[in-house]
Amino acid sequence: MGDMGVVACFLIFSLLRLSSAEISSKIGINYGTLGDNLPSPNRSVVHIQAMKAGRVKLYDANPEILQLLSGTKLQVSIMVPNNEITNIASNQTAADEWVVINVLPFYPNTMIRFLLVGNEVLSYYSDQDRQMWYDLVPAMHRIKNALKAQNINNIKVGTPLAMDIMQSSFPPSTGMFRHDLVDTVMVPLLQFLHDTKSFFFIDVYPYFPWSGNPSHISLDYALLKGNVRYMDPRNGLIYTNLLDQMLDSVIFAMTKLGFPGIRISISETGWPTAGDVDEPGANIRNAATYNRNLIQKITAKPTIGTPARPGVVIPTFIFSLYNENRKSGPGTERNWGLLRPDGTSVYGIDLTGKQPLSDYAPLPRARNNMPYRGQVWCVVARGADLMKLRPALAYACGEGNGTCDALAPGRECYEPVSVIRHASYAFSSYWARFRSQGATCYFNGLAVQTTRDPSRGSCKVPSVTL
């Protein structure tokens, strides 16, 4: 880099540090509502305040919650759902109406500070989804115009993206966005964020790269313990945790496209407290360790930042307030919460960062930090609704490929004739056949993984070998 480049980077970095003085480092919480056993919005807002969160992020613009947040000191983030993006992108009237309906009744008494357009839009790949990629930035422009028309200038417009936007992220200095996104989405998005002085919102979970490669990535490095060091061979920057490494890869990717000064916000991060058999490291001990270390890092005075941007505040939202039992997918999806559905803490946590780590009560021992090796089956969960089992059984068997041939009358698994036994066979057989294509052992909450073989006599239940 030439002298002028060095000077330019120094000036940008200095401006970022100055602008950080205006940004609160208080920890935010993601408040999702995909559960059928969660506390009321009123109780939830009370919980959020009692936890001394500084911000709350919603996945919609729920009017009841927004009204309850009125008069609190919580900074609020609201969201345009993915399915409304395309209409708004081509219709300024639709954008204007969205702001009139979802912002004006609550602002400014409810301190709405972020308006996010969509959620992880670039992580979906159907033809319809790809159209939404191209509609994303136009929709953001129209929402920003709608806010300006109402003389609202202190709400930042952005969009939260996942780390799968990266073509390369290791070492951090090689960070690049996916080739299929650069010209069509990323450059227009970065130009918008630059012009409006908004944030690049990124959902960043060290759990996923670690759990996908636990033999090559140190768990301590993923948990922000600070006792492992890695030097980027291209620029000599020293990393002590995986979170910084992931964040800086995004910063370097933005810089390569000519946008070195856009601020970062962590729109989601956290660690799961439980998961399926094939999800190592999902336990209370690791979750508490990660989130406590995260809070200490983000709220530290003076501000720590990252190796590429030391001293720069990173607005951060922990995922999530509750365990949400209606989320589909792997077991971890339902186990990110700081609180149980009854409002009690899953583990001790101080969002202000003032409580010393040594003051917390002892945590339960981690029993699944090493990947499980052996057979796993997918069976009916204890307490499953029998009325819901029949259609789930029909679905699993209806996928063909011999999934349920052994359940036919006269075959080896037909007797005893039991909905639970037949469903367990069907779930496990389906999962074994289609896991490589993304199938999970969930079936709308009716199934769980087990390492206990449910086979009986001549009926051998298919399994997955890990």
What distance lies between CA 256 and its chain's CA centroid?
Answer: 25
Position 408 scores a pLDDT of 94
CA distance 190 to 132: 17
Give the tens place of pLDDT for each residue, 405-430.
999 999 999 999 999 999 999 999 99
Indicate whether 259 pLDDT > 80: yes
Position 2 scores a pLDDT of 44
Position 3 scores a pLDDT of 44
Position 6 scores a pLDDT of 40
Indicate whether 10 pLDDT > 80: no
Amino acid at 156: K
Q: Which of 22, 64, 268, 333 is catalytic?
A: 268
The sign of the torsion formed by the CA atoms of 435, 440, 441, 446 equals: negative
Position 17 scores a pLDDT of 56
Indicate whether 34 pLDDT > 60: yes
Tokens coding 334 = 């339902």
Average pLDDT, the chain: 94
Q: Which of 22, 64, 84, 120 is catalytic?
A: 120
Position 16 scores a pLDDT of 58
**Average pLDDT, integer, range 302-315:** 96
CA distance 99 to 94: 9
Position 104 scores a pLDDT of 98
Indicate whether 154 pLDDT > 80: yes
Give the tens place of pLDDT for each residue, 52-62.
999 999 999 99
CA distance 204 to 188: 22
pLDDT band (50, 70, 90) for residue 1: very low
Position 311 scores a pLDDT of 94
Neighbours of 383 (CB within 10 A): 7
Indicate whether 180 pLDDT > 90: yes
CA distance 129 to 121: 8
Position 15 scores a pLDDT of 55
Task: Tell me, yes or no, if 324 is annotated catalytic.
Answer: no
Residues above pLDDT 70, as percent of the chain: 95
**Average pLDDT, integer, range 181-198:** 97
CA distance 361 to 357: 9
pLDDT band (50, 70, 90) for residue 23: confident
SS3 per-residue string spanning the chain: CCHHHHHHHHHHHHHHHHHHCCCCCCCEEEECCCCCCCCCHHHHHHHHHHCCCCEEEECCCCHHHHHHCCCCCCEEEEEECHHHHHHHHCCHHHHHHHHHHHCCCCCCCCCEEEEEECCCHHHCCCHHHHHHHHHHHHHHHHHHHHHHHCCCCCCEEECEEEHHHEEECCCHHHCEECCCCHHHHHHHHHHHHHHHCCEEEEECCCHHHHHHCCCCCCHHHHCCCCCCCEECCCCCCEECCHHHHHHHHHHHHHHHCCCCCCEEEEEEECCCCCCCCCCCCCCHHHHHHHHHHHHHHHHCCCCCECCCCECCCCCEEECCCECCCCCCCCHHHHCCCCECCCCCECCCCCCCCCCCHHHCCCCCCCCCCCCCCCEEEEEECCCCCHHHHHHHHHHHHHCCCCCCHHHCCCCCCCCCCCHHHHHHHHHHHHHHHHHHHCCCCCCCCCEEEECCCCCECCECCCCEEC
Give the tens place of pLDDT for each residue, 206-250.
999 999 999 999 999 999 999 999 999 999 999 999 999 999 999
CA distance 386 to 317: 39
Give the tens place of pLDDT for each residue, 344-397.
999 999 999 999 999 999 999 999 999 999 999 999 999 999 999 999 999 999
Position 399 scores a pLDDT of 79
Indicate whether 160 pLDDT > 90: yes
